[in-house]
A and B are shown apart, each in its own frame.
Chain A
Amino acid sequence: MQRNTHDALSTQVGRRSFLKMAAVAGAFGATSAFASAGATRAATEEEVKDPFPGSKKIKTVCTSCSVGCGIIAEVQNGVWVRQEVAQDHPISHGGHCSKGADMIDMVRSNVRLKYPMKKVNGAWKRISWDTALDEIASKLKNLRGESPESTIFLGSAKMSTEQAYYFRKFAAMYGTNNIDHQARI
């Protein structure tokens, strides 16, 4: 592990060093490695102090593990721009692990699913939500008609409590007890 970590950090630009470089570039208007000359200017003092004017800070909770650390998410124009630890949270007291510190990156990850898809003869095809939901519902209706017991629902410890409750209720009203989630493992 240690060696892997070392390799990863020495051969690529780590997040911290990236942020440091970005800060330097922002504060002094240096011609950085990733911007052509003339495209940047020195940040004003106000911009350094408050880089996201008009932003809102939202209190929420990490979605990684069950410790439940507090998170302060800074949002500007509907975009999550910065994540800060919650110094005054009674469980985490400003602590974050690597996973928790990464929540903002998880949400904004480039490899997120962006639209519904289905497999057509082995190839992925983009479809609309309506098509996806209609087709799935129509197939489930047929299967349910034969027996609701031919379907299984796997829910999630990543849902909110309200969603988990509704998922259990959904299975009950679908007509089966074939429902489970990660607590089984």
Chain B
Amino acid sequence: MTNHLGDIQNAKAIIIFGANPAVNHPVGFGHFLKAKERNNAQIIVVDPRFTKTAAKADYYAQIRPGTDIPFMYGMLHLIFKNGWYKKDFVKNRVYGMEDVMKEAKKWTPEKTAEVTGVPADKIIQIATVYAKSTPGTLVWAMGLTQHSIGSSNTRMAPILQLALGNMGEEGGGTNILRGHDNVQGATDMCCLSHTLPGYYGLSDGSWKYFAKSWGVDYDWLTKRFKEKKWMNTKGFTLARWYAGVLAGKAGEDAIHNGGTNLKALFVMGNGITSIAQTAKVKEALDNLELIVLADPFVNEAAVLTDKKDGVYILPAATQFETSGSVTATNRSAQWRSKVVEPMYESKTDHDIMFEMAKRLGFYDELTRGMLLKVDPKTSELKQVKKTFKWPEDATNEIARIIKTIGLTGWTAERLKKHQENWHLFDEVSLRGIGPMKGEYYGLPWPVWTETHSGSPVLYDIHRPVAEGGMGFRNRFGLEHDGVNLLAGETSAPADSKVPGGYPEITAKNIESVLGITLTEDEKKRIGKNWKVDISGIIAQKCMEAGIAPYGNAKARAKVWTFPDPIPMHREPIHSPRPDLVKEYPTYKDKPNHYRVDTQYASKQGEKDWSKEFPINLITGRLVNMNGAGVETRASKYLAALSPEMFADINPNLAANLGIRDGDMIWIHSPDGTKIKVKAHFSYSVAEDRIFLPMHFAGHFQGEDLSDKYPEGTRPYAVGESANTVTNYGYDIITQIPETKGGLCRIEKAKEV
């Protein structure tokens, strides 16, 4: 989120694409309803399904899955045509909007209606209301991301907000609702195959910075890898790890993994059925040499596989049986205190890691970072203690190292103080009172220094940098094709020493940009640039000058390195509209996409999938369930609210297929897989699509796997995993699976 949940109360309009907060974030949704009650905010929901959020909306557009880009271009068409966009904002703070304007010209309301399935007059109505009710906030979740064009979707939405000048405004912003409690924190720490913690890349420079910060020798770290080049190579992802196991078998995508397949899987807190292609996941599990599953409950990988040996289940503690910080969807950190000791024989995740590291011979290297501190006099790293205290020393290690997103201020001491005083913060502004005055709740990042306030609204130039203000980050050079990428005049944060844009701050340019002179001592201690400056000099001098260390640049509407420099509509890999596939085809096949050759055009063009599989398939969540349901199905009471797997189906579609409410049906996927679920009549889905909740596991293609759970561990609800039938298809940049817009065929199951 660029803003935060309470700030949504400042919005005059709330437009929601592919998110269902009434069900998935019920308490967060309270702030949306307060915006409606107190601020007369207009709620607009654009979703393939009439969700419970849509039921609270003033305007609802039932969009065809995968057509969000045309819908937003349709809005922009009217916004540009009628001059409703913020010209100054676009001129001073946005790069490449001209290309967007050109593309938007094509998307007349009629054209948009033809592609999205939303009537033209509704598009006009929504565009008008949204453009005229500013500030407007734009909200999304997995409904926007889980597409082969997901990364374009997530660029399109900010472009719409930039055009309307809704970025950096209270009540505006792009507000992405994260799923799990700590997706934000775990992402910031980059449990990801393409980055190091804090989104530092995989370049030598980053590795050297981390080796030094962890107190280990860079050469030692390099030698831990097969060859140095693998340090700089993105790894397999959660979405396609199975391909790393199955490569070499007939019909499987080829891999590039240094001549070896994946042979061992080590899972810590990750429901295995949460990704598309469960049948492939099962096959991959069967072909591994070693499976390790550390969870508080049975990870259904253990049940899905037919593997007879080499499968280990480790009881992990929940987050109530340890302490540490968690980052909410708005970038605020909250401190969790331990409630009880780990139950039964369970161990905390970090203890399991440490025990493994001891046995693998790198425990000292792994934990050394917690013993180090920067000497304030010399700015050198020094070992200051012999043993560490978990989690405080880990929290402080992170604060010491991660500059990119500004975590310097997230010391354990401050985070604990915020928890102790959470009653002293305002809900709408997050501002503290009394002893917490001058700080925002949870110190939303960036929190540039150990005394910084935190930044509740990203890219907000109305407040000084020291109080959370900033422009857009300067990350992609100073100019491109002769166009200046720095922000224009009058777009510096309040109280800035520089009136307009400026580059990211380095040791070389700090004196000229900030107009200061460093002492000889400071020159000796200062780091190369703001991202690796452990001395803290750059951050400190920047605060004094009202300058954001990361610069002040234009936001890029055009990304010249991407396959589509501006977002373009492309039909899903499996589209119900063969006519539109011709007009808006997907990408060329992408070799070595996170180590796997990935099919786009060849899969989409294999045949007219819609003939055999005419129904759109979408997935989502239930109010009583979370993620793959591993935790929530293990709760007696929550499981009782949805004890079995089902599919929402429009009664008219059902009637045409001879299906009655409560009948068992088979759902077949283009990949040749199937699931058997109960039909549930609902008008929330249109006649051309069905909805599947994604929380179930424990059945596989009609077979009940209940007897495969270890004794006494079967959850209270089991059922078919929706992902057994979600289709092949992955985002071109991130590789997220295309689970929100595939195809299927439905038939009534024969009675047994």
Contacts and interface: CB of A to CB of B under 8 A. Distances in A.
Contact of A178 (B235, B423, B641): B235
B711 A179 contact: no
Nearest to B398: A165
Contacts of A59: 337, 419-420, 422
Contacts of A99: 623-626, 632, 638
Given A59-B337, A160-B322, A185-B238, A114 B259 contact: no
Nearest to B241: A152
A78 to B, nearest CB: 6
B598 interface: no
Contact of A119 (B214, B307, B314): B307
Nearest to A180: B238
Contact of A79 (B275, B340, B350, B420): B340
Given A107-B340, A149-B260, A154-B270, A66 B640 contact: no
A99 B624 CA distance: 6
B333 A161 contact: yes
13 contacts: A67-B27, A75-B339, A93-B30, A107-B343, A132-B314, A140-B356, A141-B360, A154-B268, A164-B189, A165-B397, A180-B193, A181-B270, A183-B192
A159 B317 CA distance: 10
B680 A1 contact: yes
Given A60-B336, A122-B308, A91 B226 contact: no
A15 interface: yes
A70 B638 CA distance: 20
A121 B307 CA distance: 9
Contacts of A107: 318, 320-321, 339-340, 343
B146 to A, nearest CB: 7
Interface in A45-94: 58-70, 73, 75, 78-80, 86, 88-93
Interface stretch (B83-91, B287-295, B446-454): B287-295
- The 5 tightest CB contacts between A and B, nearest first, are A156-B269, A160-B324, A137-B359, A68-B328, A177-B235
A176 B235 contact: yes
A68 B334 contact: yes
A164 B186 contact: yes
A61 B395 CA distance: 17
Residue with the highest number of chain B CB atoms closer than 10 Å, among A62, A88, A170: A170
A132 B293 CA distance: 11
Max chain B Cβ within 10 angstroms of own Cβ: one of A14, A159, A169: A159
Contacts of B608: none
A161 B312 CA distance: 25
Contacts of B290: 136, 139-140, 143
B75 to A, nearest CB: 27
B236 A180 contact: yes
Contact of A162 (B187, B347, B394, B631): B394
Given A69-B27, A143-B290, A161 B326 contact: yes
Contacts of A170: 353, 356-357, 366
Interface stretch (B530-538, B556-564, B731-739): B731-739
Contacts of B315: 112-116
Contacts of A176: 225, 230, 235
A12 B180 CA distance: 30
Nearest to A177: B235
B599 interface: no
A109 B636 contact: yes
B191 A98 contact: no
B297 A183 contact: no
Interface in B235-284: 235-239, 241, 244, 257-270, 274-275
A58 B337 contact: yes
A172 interface: yes
B366 A98 contact: no
Contact of B269 (A117, A159, A165, A172): A159
B337 A60 contact: yes
A181 B682 CA distance: 33
A136 B264 CA distance: 10
A106 B637 CA distance: 10
A116 B318 CA distance: 15
B264 A140 contact: yes
Contact of A8 (B216, B233, B641): B641
Interface in B360-414: 360, 362, 365-366, 369, 390-391, 394-395, 397-398
A167 B349 contact: yes
A109 to B, nearest CB: 5
Nearest to B325: A161
Contact of B713 (A113, A168, A175): A113
Contact of B225 (A14, A132, A162, A175): A175
B422 A70 contact: yes
Given A97-B26, A170-B357, A150 B263 contact: yes
A146 to B, nearest CB: 7
Contacts of B191: 155-156, 159, 164, 167-168, 179-181, 183
B30 A95 contact: yes
B328 A67 contact: yes
Given A78-B341, A162-B390, A180-B235, A151 B641 contact: no
B482 interface: no
Contacts, number: 487
B159 interface: no
A166 B366 contact: yes
Interface string B422-437: 1101110010000000
A93 to B, nearest CB: 6
A124 B426 contact: no
B479 interface: no
B190 A168 contact: yes
Contacts of A79: 340
A4 B643 contact: yes
B119 interface: no
Given A14-B640, A161-B186, A154 B24 contact: no
Given A78-B341, A167-B191, A151 B266 contact: yes
A136 B291 CA distance: 9
Given A80-B320, A90-B430, A91-B328, A157 B263 contact: no
Contacts of B224: 148, 172-175
A14 to B, nearest CB: 7
Nearest to B731: A184
Contacts of A148: 224-226, 230
B44 interface: no
A117 B313 contact: yes
**Most central of A139, A144, A180 by chain B CB within 10 Å:** A180
Given A179-B235, A185-B146, 12 more contacts: A15-B637, A61-B334, A63-B320, A91-B28, A111-B716, A114-B712, A152-B236, A161-B189, A162-B395, A173-B224, A177-B235, A178-B193
A121 B314 contact: no
A182 B271 CA distance: 9
Contacts of A36: none
B181 A90 contact: no
A65 B588 CA distance: 37
A46 to B, nearest CB: 25
Contacts of B395: 161-162
Interface centre among A15, A58, A160 (most CB of B within 10 A): A160
Contacts of B25: 65-67
B292 A136 contact: yes
Contacts of B230: 148-149, 175-177
Interface in B636-671: 636-638, 640-644, 646
B366 A124 contact: no
Given A63-B181, A150-B264, A153-B266, A112 B188 contact: no
Contacts of A112: 296-297, 315, 343-344, 346, 634, 713
B173 interface: no
Contacts of B333: 161
Interface stretch (B55-63, B164-172, B194-202): B194-202
A178 B365 CA distance: 20
A63 B353 CA distance: 21
By CB atoms of chain B within 10 A, which of A4, A92, A152 has the most? A152
